[in-house]
Amino acid sequence: MNVGAEWLVDAEGCSPESLRDMTAVRAACEAIISDLDLRVVGQPMWHQFPEPGGVTGLFLLTESHLACHTYPEIGTATFNLYCCRARPDWPWEERLRSFLGASRIRVLCVARGPSMGG
């Protein structure tokens, strides 16, 4: 039985300035949430690290959660989106290029739940 899907996304070659900019990272996360018609529970949590100034964000969703972490020192952002109900594909590559200047995006979608026949 499938109980959800989890997207593990690595965006590389990002603009270090964008990865330090909490507003830019928040806009990317809010686009994911809006475009996929997800619902946020409460207020998102954000943390800005000291230089080189990466950002961590966490959104609690009625469907589960969205977390992001940025690493400006290596031009990388990671996203983890878990949903307990089916969602359409999101244009990760196009949108993360637009929001963060990413040049390479790797997306892994994992079905969650008990293994078949187990």
Task: Say what the pLDDT of residue 104 is.
Answer: 98
Q: Extract the runs of DSSP E, i.e. beta strands, from 1-114.
A: 4-12, 45-48, 55-61, 64-71, 76-83, 104-112
Look up 69 and say whether it is catalytic. Answer: yes
* Distance from chain centroid for Cα 89: 13
Catalytic residue among 14, 18, 69, 83: 69
Q: How much is the average pLDDT of 92-109? A: 96
Among residues 40, 41, 46, the alpha carbon closest in space to that of 24 is found at 46
Domains of the chain: 7-88+97-104 (3.60.90.10)
pLDDT, position 3 = 86
pTM to 2 decimal places: 0.91
Among candidates 44, 4, 2, which has minimal Cα distance to 22? Answer: 44
CA-closest candidate to residue 51, choices 73, 76, 78, 22: 73
Catalytic residue among 14, 18, 29, 64: 64
pLDDT digits (tens, 9 = 90+) for 42-84: 999 999 999 889 999 999 999 999 999 999 999 999 999 999 8
Are 96 and 13 in contact, with CB atoms under 8 Å apart? no
pLDDT at 85 over 90: no
Confidence of residue 35 (pLDDT cuts 50, 70, 90): very high
Q: Quick check: is 98 catalytic? A: no
The separation between CA 8 and the C-alpha centre of its own chain, rounded to angstroms, equals: 8
